[in-house]
Each structure stands twice: as structure tokens, then as C-alpha cells.
Amino acid sequence: MKDFFSQMQSSWCTSEKKDCKVHIFELVVHLKMEIDELCDEWVPEPLIPKMTDEMRYEPPILESAAGSHTLINGTEVINFASANYLGLVGHGKLLEACTESLEKYGAGSCGPRGFYGTIDVHLDCEARIAKFLGTPDSILYSYGLSTMFSAIPAFCKKGDVIVADEGVHWAIQNGLQLSRSTVVYFKHNDMESLRDMLEKVTKGNKRAEKLRRYIVVEAVYQNSGQIAPLDEIIRLKENYRFRVLLDESNSMGVLGSSGRGLTEYCKVPVGKIDIITAAMGHALATEGGVCTGSARVIDHQRLSSSGYVFSASLPPYLTSAAITAIDILEENLDLIMKLKKNIGTLCRGLSDIQGLEIASDLASPIVFLRLKKSTGSLKGDLQVLEDIAQHVLKEDSVLVATSRRSTLDKCKLPVGIRLFVSAAHTEDDLMKAGESLKRVAALALNGHD
């Protein structure tokens, strides 16, 4: 009897194992089929986001120098889309300096500054800019935007505190992000908001006393055309013991009686600013960027600023152009007066424009027009402004730019139409631009007041 039950148990187990194996095999096959189906159905995330109509926008292409007048599709237009503030684009002395430099040094430097990319003209330019701005030393960068997003992380590190204006342009935004510092924003050009934010950051925070703390602002804001009240910023800086980083990209060569920027304009000693940056592609009509300040501030960047350490140095001919541009400015201060006069003429001509208002400072070389009444969305506002810009170009050959922003730009300020005024614009240019914009705006924005 015992043997019988043993045989039955053995037979049952054998049979059960076979059934299990069959069942497991079926499960494996089914699972494999499911995996194959999922693989066939799987669609990877696109390498780039889906293109929208907004992304497909292509600006007009210039066919000549970006002076006060330029060519688009073979037609001469009045150019208010290029930041050629002093009208030096195509200046004979700049062309001569570039030609001589090309013949002497060639086109490029083929190396970073620390690896045999330093040429004597780089040192001459750094000394010339420092002398012009009244600072101990300066440092050149190969690209204007890289100045801001390299200099900021060179000084601001994780754990540091940065209080920045909410209207700063994208290069500064990128520098703030790369710094990994704690960043808080104050309302655009609002000193009461800045004071409240400084108070909030420091009040009762013993740890903040041991941290490096910075205020980051622009002299002339690219996204609004407004001018920062530097004297008030310095007062708050000293009261709350912060450092100030000031971007003078749109003010160097423009503001002040001799074009030395916001410090001269506000009569603030330049030594009170810890770090000053500027792109040289605007008033100086060349390329690259510069950071200026104390010798310690400059020397630190030569070892710690990525845009300086790892990028090929600024081509010598562009460096020579920067030196020459400063020479021209110092010899022709009437350029600043002419620019100031042109800004006033254009602003007066646009003062009663229908549906739009001038948001910029009356001394700013960026005349910024924004809608009096928003459509309710950024996209809708931009479309209205783009239509106006396209009509003035097509109907009156006046080229203006809207403040279209990339998907990376986090600025929340209202969009608008930007007119970059130049000392090279004639009174007829300014009158024609004003009349064209008023006529087109009246048709496009009837009832928007």
C-alpha cells in the first residue's frame, strides 16, 4: 500500500511539473509578444519640440551693413532694428583699423587667452577700456552674451544670494541659472520692491551675514528701455551690505556727457560698482564683451571664468575696432548730443500714438512701445505688434523690431516694439518712422485705448 501511494505521488508530481512547465512557457511567449507589441508601438520623445508657427518666424534678412539705412530684398529701408547707437557701423576709421589688423595678425587667434591666444592688441584694448571707464583693469570676452553668463558664475556660487531685477535679459538669466545661487527677483525697476526684497533676505537671517550677496541690474534694460536709478541702488547696497553687478551693454558710449555709462549719468563714482559688464556690439559697433572693475575682480576671471578660459580669444581686428571706436567717441562727443537729440525727436513724434505708449526712459536709446491695452495673452499681444512691424516695413520701408523672446527667456515683462535710435538717423528718418507707426497703429489698434 505504501509503495502504491508513493508511485501515485510521484506520478502526480511529474504530471504537475509538466503542466507547470507548459504554463510557464505559455506565459513567457505571451509576455514576449506583449513586449514586442509595446516596442512596436513605442514612439521616442522628439529630439526637438514640435515646431509651431511662432517658432517658424524668420526675421528680415539684411543685404548690406546694419547702418541707419540698410537693404532688404533689394530695397533700401530705414533701420531701427540694429543697436548702432553712435552710427559707427561702416565708419571709415573702423574699416581702416580692421584692414590694418587683418594684414598684421590675420583673421583669428586660434587659441584661448591662457593658451597662446593673447595678442598684444588684446592687452591694449583692455587697458584702453579701463582708462575710458575709469577703472583699474578690464578683461575681454570673445562674445558679448558670454560675458554675462561667464562672469556671474565666476563670482556667484551655490549658497550665495542674488537679488535680480525681473526684467533682466536672457544672458543674465542664464548666468544666474549657471551660478546655482539662490536667486530672488524684485519688481522691474521698482526700488521699493528691491528694498523689501533685501529686507526679506537679510532680516533675522544670521546665516545671510556670512553669505556673498549680490544685486544684479542693467543700466538700460533691453526688455523695456528703462534706466536703472543707480544712486538709489547704491544707497540700498551700502545699507544692506550687498555687492552690485551692473550690465552696461546698452549704456556704454551712450549715457553720460562723455559716454561713460550709467555711473557718469547718475554721478555715481565707478568704484562703488563691484562688477561692470558690457557687450561691445552696440555703441562700439564691433563684437565681444568686456568686464571691468578692480584688479582682483579681473584677475579672478582669468582663472575662473569659463567664457574667457575655454574660448578662443576675440579676433584681433575686432579688438582693434573697439579701440578705434572709443577714440572716435572721445574725439566726437557731439555724437552723444546728436543721439540724445534724435531720441527726443522720435519720442515727441510718437507721444500721441494710438493704442501704444512709450514705456522707455526719455534718455534711453531704446524707444520701447507697448500696448496700452493687452489682448489678454502674450501670444496675442506679440501678434498685434508683429502685424504693425510688418506693415510699416512693407508700406513705408521702416524696419523696427518686436521684443520677441526665445522659449528659454523667462522674462515676464510685456512685449513691445523696440526702436534702436542712432546718431546717424536724420530728422527725416525719425519723422517718417513716427508718422508710419502712428498711421499703422491707428488702423490696427482702433478702439484699443
Cell numbers for 161, please give them: 544670494
- Per-residue pLDDT, 130: 97
**Cα 201 from chain centroid?**
26
Domain coordinates in residue numbering, the chain: 56-85+333-446, 92-331
pTM: 0.87
Q: Which of these ranges, 12-21, 122-131, 154-163, 222-231, has the smallest mean pLDDT?
A: 12-21
Residue-wise pLDDT tens digits, 165-206? 999 999 999 999 999 999 999 999 999 999 999 999 988 777
Tens digits of per-residue pLDDT, 361-384? 999 999 999 999 999 998 899 999
Instruction: Specify the pLDDT at position 2.
Output: 45
**Residues linked to residue 418 through DSSP beta bridges, in sequence order:** 368, 401
Instruction: Assign 8 a pLDDT band (cuts: 50, 70, 90).
Output: very low
Angle between helices 144-155 and 170-179 (to 10 degrees): 30
What is the C-alpha to C-alpha distance for residues 342 and 367, in angstroms, rounded to an integer? 11
Q: Please name which of 139, 275, 269 lies closest in space to residue 215, comparing C-alpha atoms.
A: 275
Label residue 447 by pLDDT band (50, 70, 90): low
Closest CA to 359 of 400, 409, 413, 440: 413
Q: Find the mean pLDDT for residues 84-107.
A: 96
Q: What is the per-residue pLDDT for 268?
A: 96
Measured CA to CA in angstroms, residue 247 lies from 15, 161, 201 at distances of: 83, 18, 23
Tell me: the pLDDT tens digits for 337-350?
999 999 999 999 99
The CATH class of 92-331 is alpha beta
CATH 3.90.1150.10 fits 56-85+333-446, yes or no: yes
Helical segments of 369-426, H only? 378-396
pLDDT of residue 327: 97
Convert the pLDDT of each residue in 395-411 to its tens digit: 999 999 999 888 888 89
CA-based nearest residue to 419, from 76, 83, 70, 60: 83
Residue 12 has pLDDT above 60, yes or no: no
Average pLDDT over all residues of the chain: 91
Sequence-ordered list of residues with C-beta below 8 angstroms from that of 15, at least 6 positions apart, any chain: none
pLDDT at 7 (0 to 100): 44
What pLDDT does residue 408 have?
84
**Residues 255-285: tens digit of each pLDDT:** 999 999 999 999 999 999 999 999 999 999 9
Q: CA-based angle 131:132:137, to the nearest 5?
A: 40
